């Protein structure tokens, strides 16, 4: 089968979209955006509501008549079949995943089950449903993935779409496997797919086990700021709204069978980023400059900690014309403001299982 990437004749519009993992951090931003940019589309959000999924992330769209929430697991083929036959989806935007590297180190099987088997189950149901409807030429399966599949960089260089896969954590290995399965469905069965691999996201509604919201929360509460190793690991940070815009761009105009790296050309060492957050949060709270620096606590490094990630997003920029819309200063200021203004959200999402996990993994380290 000739599976070289092919452009769509015109920008795609949809009538029925399935978004998986829409109650999570990125998924909630994607749903909000698609309800705006696909005005004819009904959007079904399938989410298992794990500790990371929270309907509080989508309160503002609950009343939208084009939006439906379905609680369920992407590994549940019967449920998926029912949803496909009821809603006749013409695209799937697949974000549901176990997403936190630290948790993948303590519980790798959960990651392999959701991220690999869950993706394969979803693909298989989509293939059957779309084959039966005879609509394979008019649909799209969009798999949202991570730059971590490429492994770890030294001081130089950037990940491109042709960088060989070299995942090193159970999380990145599970995402790499799911990318391969998605491509296999394209090459073997002619399933129209696109994949994007994005760098680290930051912004509102991110569960506070991830670096930026964890640090903001702890600076506010004056708790220790745990930093792995010497804090020299480098990440390329992208504002979540810019990732959602990139996903929307790829959904509308991405070439079938193509892969797009998404990143902000915005590299920060963890330690420098934490200093920046201390500066911003302390200033917002009227504390003296440097007030929270003493909270920095270096902790034993993460097992197999990748040193550096950095994305070359030229392909997405030149082929589809996407660019980040904000500077890091703008995005970070917006993010800090959001967490300071939404303490009730933070209390709600951290009130359950997470508190126990936090106490074991973060609170008393150092």
Ligand X SMILES: NC(=O)c1ccc[n+]([C@@H]2O[C@H](COP(=O)([O-])OP(=O)(O)OC[C@H]3O[C@@H](n4cnc5c(N)ncnc54)[C@H](O)[C@@H]3O)[C@@H](O)[C@H]2O)c1
Q: Which of 148, 209, 236, 306 is catalytic?
A: 148
Phi-psi region of 231 (alpha: psi -120 to 50; beta: other; left: phi over 0): left
Q: Is 200 in the site for ligand X (CB under 6 A)?
A: yes
The answer to whether 130 touches 82, Cβ cutoff 8 Å, is no
Q: Is 50 in the site for ligand X (CB under 6 A)?
A: yes
Identified binder of ligand X from the candidate list 24, 151, 203, 226, rule CB under 6 A: 24
Q: Is 49 in the site for ligand X (CB under 6 A)?
A: yes
Identified binder of ligand X from the candidate list 38, 201, 259, 292, rule CB under 6 A: 201
Q: Which of 47, 90, 98, 147 is catalytic?
A: 147
Q: How far is the CB of 134 from ligand X (least distance, A)?
A: 28
For CA atoms 248, 331, 152, 108, the dihedral sign is negative
Identified binder of ligand X from the candidate list 21, 213, 226, 324, rule CB under 6 A: 21
Nearer to ligand X, 130 or 202 (CB): 202
Q: Would residue 171 show up in a list of annotated catalytic residues for this protein?
A: yes
Which ranges of the chain does DSSP label H, i.e. alpha helix?
Answer: 25-37, 77-87, 101-106, 108-111, 119-133, 170-189, 211-221, 240-253, 270-284, 314-320, 328-341, 343-349, 353-358
Q: How far is the CB of 293 from ligand X (least distance, A)?
A: 26
* Cα of 134 vs its chain's centroid, Å: 31
Identified binder of ligand X from the candidate list 17, 18, 31, 52, rule CB under 6 A: 52
Site track 63-102 with ligand X (rule: CB under 6 A), x = hit: ----------xxx-------------------xxxxx---
Q: How far is the CB of 1 from ligand X (least distance, A)?
A: 27
Q: Is 181 in the site for ligand X (CB under 6 A)?
A: no
Q: How far is the CB of 266 from ligand X (least distance, A)?
A: 13
- Report the site for ligand X in 26-45 (rule: CB under 6 A): 26-27
Q: Is 192 in the site for ligand X (CB under 6 A)?
A: no
Phi-psi region of 155 (alpha: psi -120 to 50; beta: other; left: phi over 0): alpha
Q: Would residue 148 show up in a list of annotated catalytic residues for this protein?
A: yes
Tokens 């439906």 sit on residue: 68
Collapse the DSSP code of 217 into the 3-class scheme (helix H, G, I; strand E, B; otherwise coil) and give the result.
Answer: helix
* Cα of 241 vs its chain's centroid, Å: 11
Q: How far is the CB of 256 from ligand X (least distance, A)?
A: 20
Identified binder of ligand X from the candidate list 198, 216, 244, 332, rule CB under 6 A: 198
The answer to whether 220 touches 286, Cβ cutoff 8 Å, is no
Q: What is the widest separation between alpha-carbon atoms in the chain?
A: 65
Q: Which stretch binds ligand X (CB under 6 A): 194-202, 274-282, 315-323, 357-365?
A: 194-202
Strands 234-239, 267-269: pairing is antiparallel
CA–CA distance, 334 with 327 (Å, rounded to integer): 11
Strands 193-198, 67-71: pairing is unpaired
- Report the site for ligand X in 301-360 (rule: CB under 6 A): none
Nearer to ligand X, 71 or 138 (CB): 71
**DSSP assignment of 277-304, as one string?**
HHHHHHHHTTPPTTGGGGGEEEEPPPTT
Phi-psi region of 193 (alpha: psi -120 to 50; beta: other; left: phi over 0): beta
Q: Is 250 in the site for ligand X (CB under 6 A)?
A: no
- Report the site for ligand X in 120-159 (rule: CB under 6 A): 144-146
Q: Is 263 in the site for ligand X (CB under 6 A)?
A: no
CA–CA distance, 220 with 200 (Å, rounded to integer): 23
Residue nearest to ligand X (CB): 24
Strand pairing partners for 144? 196
Q: How far is the CB of 323 from ligand X (least distance, A)?
A: 18
Q: How far is the CB of 351 from ligand X (least distance, A)?
A: 16
Residues at the interface with ligand X (CB under 6 A): 20-21, 23-27, 47-50, 52-53, 73-75, 95-99, 114, 118, 144-146, 175, 198, 200-201, 207
Active site residues: 147-148, 171
């Amino acid at each position: 089968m000739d599976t070289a990437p092919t452009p769509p004749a015109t920008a795609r519009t949809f009538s029925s979209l399935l978004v998986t993992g829409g109650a999570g951090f990125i998924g909630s931003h994607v749903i909000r955006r698609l309800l705006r940019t696909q005005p004819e589309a009904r959007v079904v959000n399938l989410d298992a509501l794990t500790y990371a999924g929270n309907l509080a992330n989508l309160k503002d769209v609950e009343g939208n008549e084009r939006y439906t929430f379905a609680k369920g697991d992407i590994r549940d083929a019967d449920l998926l079949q029912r949803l496909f036959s009821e809603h006749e989806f013409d695209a799937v935007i697949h974000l549901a995943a176990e997403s936190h590297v630290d948790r993948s180190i303590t519980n790798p099987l959960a990651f392999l089950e959701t991220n690999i088997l869950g993706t394969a189950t979803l693909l298989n149901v989509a293939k059957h449903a779309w084959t039966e409807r005879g609509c394979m030429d008019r649909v799209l399966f969009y798999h949202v993935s991570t730059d971590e599949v490429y492994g770890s960089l030294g001081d130089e260089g950037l990940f491109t779409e042709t960088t060989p896969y070299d995942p090193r954590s159970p999380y990145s290995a599970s995402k790499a496997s799911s990318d391969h399965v998605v491509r296999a469905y394209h090459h073997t069965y002619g399933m129209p797919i696109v994949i994007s691999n994005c760098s680290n996201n930051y912004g509102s509604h991110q569960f506070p086990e991830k670096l930026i919201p964890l640090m903001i929360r702890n600076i506010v509460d004056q708790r220790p700021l745990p930093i792995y190793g010497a804090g020299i690991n480098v990440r390329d940070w992208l504002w979540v709204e810019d990732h959602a815009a990139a996903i929307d761009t790829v959904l509308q105009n991405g070439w079938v069978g193509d892969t797009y790296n998404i990143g902000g050309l915005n590299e920060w060492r963890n330690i420098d980023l934490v200093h920046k957050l201390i500066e911003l949060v302390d200033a917002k709270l009227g504390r003296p400059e440097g007030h929270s620096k003493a909270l920095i606590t270096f902790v034993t490094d993460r097992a197999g900690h990748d040193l550096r990630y950095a994305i070359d997003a030229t392909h997405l920029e030149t082929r589809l014309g996407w660019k980040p819309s904000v500077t890091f200063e703008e995005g970070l200021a917006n993010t800090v403001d959001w967490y300071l203004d939404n303490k009730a959200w933070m209390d709600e999402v951290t009130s359950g299982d997470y508190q126990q996990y936090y106490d074991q993994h973060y609170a008393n380290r150092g």
